[in-house]
Each structure stands twice: as structure tokens, then as C-alpha cells.
A and B are shown apart, each in its own frame.
Chain A
Amino acid sequence: MKPGRETLSGWGRHPRVACAVYRPDRQGQLTSVLRDASGLSQIARGLGRSYGDASTNQDQGVVDMTALSRFIAFDESTGILTAEAGVSYADLVDVLLPRGWFAAVTPGTKFVTLGGAIAADVHGKNHHRDGSFNSCVRSFELLTPAGELLTCSRELNAEVFWATLGGMGLTGFIQTATIQLRKVQSAFVDVTTTRVGNLDAMLEHFTKTDEDLTYSVAWIDCLAKGDRLGRGVVLQGEHAPGTCGPAPSKRSKSVPFDFPGFALNPLSVRAFNGVYYASHGSGQAKEDVNTYFYPLDAVHHWNRIYGRRGFVQYQPVFPVADADKGVRALIQKLVDARRSSFLAVLKQMGGHEGGPLGFPMKGLTLAVDLPRAPGIENFLNELDRLVLDHGGRVYLAKDGSMSPESFRRMYPRLDEFLQVKARVDPHDLLSSDQSRRLKIT
């Protein structure tokens, strides 16, 4: 199979690198990609929503999995789906929601493939209750670089199963996946919105209410200082009763060109955050799943608002003991550095099992968007130190800048992962720009 030469980047649009891109459209072709790779390393790529360099591989191979997007079987009585790894959450919403089934764990965009969801072990607004994506993965088929097709589950090849969940594609090509969906009664979510004045009140609100609610997430005004630091809006939800039909979707808009670099500045971001806070009173509403779970998907190419130089999303999790101190320190640092975040999201994570490179831990996770302004690399290194000082770790699906030393300290089970990788990929044929930067070999 012949590759085409293309320039690729992650969703943060930096760095942009030339890669040899393979586009298999049959499962069997993955074997020939491996055979014809002639010494080049490969990494699988889905819809390219990881923010940094996890799905790029400069001057080497990238295997675009999006044409492997066939449904294989769906049992309407149990909600168990088997599909090729390139099937996306958008496909699940289109095909299965009208029949009363919804993904049991979904990230904040539906432009993520099942393979990508496994590779990043994605989490959603229900992590505090249900854990990350692995909780609904029953099994998957993994093609290893040796050409062996392994069926992996909690029982079969369990070590490979766990290493692959969160393993950023470095153990093999995920060919098909079998997942459990959640039965829902309608395409709507009953949303309770609560405006909260500062971080202490926010955490108290989480503690009081999260246990009872399936979905819970807060938007934080990262520019508010002093005793208003951490003020924001909590959006909690439950699947609404009713009858199922197709999910209403607004006509999607698109950002047609790169915004100039000055469009997002401290003033405009402050204005946005202020208006967002002021316009969200406390109350109840019914929202369709697209609006509640995938608000940004309605604007295609929204990453262009950061202009050509791109942006960074930074998402650490802080362990529960010190979580509020970590979050407070991080927000304070953003305020002090005058690094404005357009969108900042805070949520509680539960203590569920994960793989050796699993991200979640019981505590609080905060995700912030930062424009790629001068000095960003140093600033991110400082943030990494802050996260380490509070015992936290950074999500690999968002990472594009961590040092191998920080990574090793944040992910103490790395050696366990490397042992599995050495077994399934002894010649190190799978790598990405991220894995080389972090020295995951």
C-alpha cells in the first residue's frame, strides 16, 4: 500500500509536520501497511482531535484509520456494539441514539473514533460516577507490529488490554472494538445550571451534589481574582425521559479562515468570560445531546479562532488530598502571567481503575486553552512543575510539550507499560512525535 505525503498537526495546529499517510479502507490492508513500511515507524490516527503531537510522526508513517468505519454488529436488546475502530461518536449518535442507545462514556467532541477513545482512554462528564472509556470497552482486536491479531479484554491478553487503554496507539493498531452502550429514553438531557461565586463554593457544590448526578462539569472564569477566584457555572445533567428520535442538530457553522493573532487578547477573553458568567443564571433546562455534550462541534474548525500559530490545551488532574490547592495555584498562575484562557473546564474525577498510562485519578481535573503566544514553552514547563508539586499529572491526549523527566514522574507505572510494549512491539515500529519526545520506547 502506497502512502501519500501530507502535512499534519494535532487539533492545536502546532507543530505542523510532513508525514507519509496511509489510508487503508479494509482491515486486511493494515497488514500490508506494516509489511511495506520499510523501516519507517507508524502511528494510527483517527479524527486528529488530540491536541499536541500524539497523532503525528514527522517524516515517518501515519495510518489514517477513518475509512475503517464499518459497523459490524449491534444487539438492540443488550446495547452491545462491535464496529471497526474508525467509527466515531458522531456515527453512534446518528445511528444508535434514535434506537435508544447512547455512548456510556463520551468526550466533549463527537469527532473522536472508537480507536482514539481507546488509545486515550477518554473520559467525560460522568467520570466521577462511571470512570473513563475503559469501563464500557468489553474487548477489542489489536494488530501488533509482528502481524498478530490479538483479541484483548479483561480476561484475554489482559496486560495488553490495559496497556492499550491510554497507550496512545503505541501497542498496535486497534482494528475493531466491542463496547457496551447506555440505554436512554430520549435525545435530551435535563440540565441544572448553578452559578457559583468562587472555588470553595464550587467544590462544596460538587461534594454536595455530584454523587447523585450522572453528568457534572463546571465552566470556570479563569480571569476572576481574589475572593472570586474560581467562580463559574456548574452544568449538571441527567438523561431526560421521553421517547427517542434523531438528535436535533443545529445547522453547523464553520470558521472559514484563521483569525488574526490579535483577535483573542486579554480584553476580548475577559469580555467573553464576563458575559458567559453573567448570562448563565441558575436554573433548569432541557438540552439535546448535541448541545449538552458537544457544544463546540456546532462550529467546525473552531480551532482557527486562535490563528495560524495555534493553541495549547493544558489539562492536569490533581489528587483528591491536595486538589483544591493545585487548582487554585494553577488558576492563580494563569492570572499572574496574564495568560488568558478562553475556555476552562473543571470537574471531579472518580477513583476508577485504568491502565499503566491511564490519566484519571480521584481528584479534580482542570482543562484550559492557551493561545500559543511567545514564551509558551517555558510557561508550560512551569505549569508541569506546579502540577508535579501537587502530585498531579497531565493528560497525554492534550500534551505537546512535556519533558520526558516530568512525564516519568507523573506516570510512575511507565515501566509496566514499556514491558508490554517491548513484548508486542520488540522492534519499536510504532512511535509518534509525542512518544519520541517523551522517550516512550
Chain B
Amino acid sequence: MSQEPGLSVLIVGATSGIARAIAAVYAARGAALVLAGRDGKALEQDADDLRVRYKAVVKTRLFDAMDRATQATLLDNLHVSVAVLCHGVMIDNDTARSSPDAHRSMIEVNYTSYALLLEQLADQMQRQGGGVIGVVSSVAGDRGRGSNYCYGATKAALTAYADGLRGRLYNTGVHVVTIKPGPTATPMTAGLAHQSKMANPVSVAKQIIRAMDQRKNILYTPGKWRLIMAVIRAIPEQVFKRMSI
């Protein structure tokens, strides 16, 4: 594995299943890491693991997507050459519909916090002269489905934001990768049907990092989801609205 001592990587939502796998790959490459998230104790446990396994230099920082104060200070005194934004919540559609608070918090976490943080990150990386930002959205944002549109809509907004930002930053040296994982076997999907058949977070993480290294624009991971979503988007709405998916 290539060693890249100059690489400094910020991972937001670092205690999530995919984020942990991403952090491990970067740590093995010799990157310095900043793990950001809500749960300070969990962040320290994950940081210790990376320190022992890879002798990595790892810092932790508290970040709460519902708390503007931690958002405003997240990037203070940090040099970030690569950032991966992985935080997010998935609240099932019925709960979101019946609980405005839960619904609003999902929108805040999955969309609003990203929009605000992405602008800060983009500005900082532009001043530094470059960088790569990975935005973990979801295949669920590709088309609103009757069974999961509350979550899907937050991801659709995020996808549009990341795609647009990539356009604005074209030719500045800062690049945005829109990442759309299919269902992955992580704590977020624990207890859902067929979890054992879902994608493995380690292989998803490797594909994400390869896409960021190669400055791809949009990544579906596992790759089959590009095809599946193309088919789903092609179904006429007259038919789609009758389907219970």
C-alpha cells in the first residue's frame, strides 16, 4: 500500500459503518486523520483502534449536525486535503410522517448541515489551492418512492447540491464526488430484512476511496446500482406510482 504522509483526511460522521471502513483504508495509507462525530467516547475508541493498528496520527472532534455551534468551529485550525462526509440518519417513512420533530431532524442532518458545511469546506480548500470532497448521498435520492420518500427526498436534495457544487468548483482544483451507496450492511440498516445480503461496508469503502483518488464525478457502489437505478428512473410515472416499492 502506498504511503502518503502528506495526506490529511477529515471524516464527518466517523462512527458510521461505512466511515469506519474508509478511515481504516486511509490510515493504512499513512494519512493523518480527523474523526468528527457526536459521540466523543465512540470516536476515541475508533481512534485508538486506528492508532494501534496502523500507528496512525488521529485526532477527534465533536460535531453535531443539529448543533450550529459545532458546525461553525469544525474546520478551525484544520488543514484538510480530503474530506468525506458520511453522517446521516434514516428514519422510516411512517415515523417521519407522524413525527414532525423526527422529520425535521432528518432534513437538518441529511441536507441542511451538509449544505452549510460544504460551503465552508469548499472555501477553505479553494484557499488552500485544492482538495477532494466525498459526499455520501444514496441511491434512494434518485427517485422518490412511496415507501421511503421522506428519507429519499433529503438525499435527492443532497445529490443535487453536491452535483451543483462540483460544477461551481470546476477548474478550481477542488473536486466533489457524489457517492450513492446501495443498501449496505451497517448499523444503520440493522434489523432490516435481507441485511445479510447487503453490500459489505469494506468493499463499499474501497470503491469510494478509489473514486475519490480518481476524481470521479458520480459513484454508484456497488456498481450494479447504476443499472438498477437507470431502470427505476425509466419506469413511466403512470406505472411507477402504482408500484409499491
Contacts and interface: CB of A to CB of B under 8 A. Distances in A.
Interface of A: 1-6, 21-23, 25-27, 67, 70-74, 91, 95
Given A2-B191, A4-B193, 11 more contacts: A4-B190, A4-B192, A5-B193, A25-B187, A27-B45, A70-B46, A71-B52, A71-B53, A72-B45, A72-B52, A95-B52
B187 A95 contact: no
B202 to A, nearest CB: 11
A4 B195 CA distance: 7
A3 B17 CA distance: 17
Contacts of B196: 4, 6, 21
A22 B42 CA distance: 19
Interface in B1-27: 17
Contacts, number: 42
Contacts of A91: 53
Nearest to A74: B52
A70 B49 contact: yes
A91 B192 CA distance: 29
24 contacts: A1-B191, A2-B191, A4-B193, A4-B195, A4-B196, A21-B196, A23-B187, A23-B195, A25-B187, A26-B42, A27-B45, A67-B187, A70-B45, A70-B49, A71-B48, A71-B49, A72-B48, A72-B49, A72-B52, A73-B52, A74-B52, A91-B53, A95-B52, A95-B53
Interface of B: 17, 42, 45-46, 48-49, 52-53, 187, 190-193, 195-196
Contacts of B190: 1-2, 4, 22-23
A4 B187 CA distance: 11
A67 B201 CA distance: 11
The B interface is mostly helix, strand or loop, or mixed, namely: helix
A50 B194 CA distance: 24
A70 B191 contact: no
Contacts of A95: 52-53
Nearest to B16: A25
B52 A25 contact: no
A23 B48 CA distance: 21
A21 B195 CA distance: 10
B196 to A, nearest CB: 5
List 5 tightest A-B contacts by C-beta distance, closest first: A2-B191, A71-B52, A70-B49, A4-B195, A74-B52
Name, among B42, B187, B192, B193, the residue most crowded by chain A CB atoms within 10 Å (CB to CB).
Answer: B187
B17 A25 contact: yes
B27 to A, nearest CB: 12
A25 B48 CA distance: 15
A21 B196 CA distance: 10
Contacts of B187: 23, 25, 67
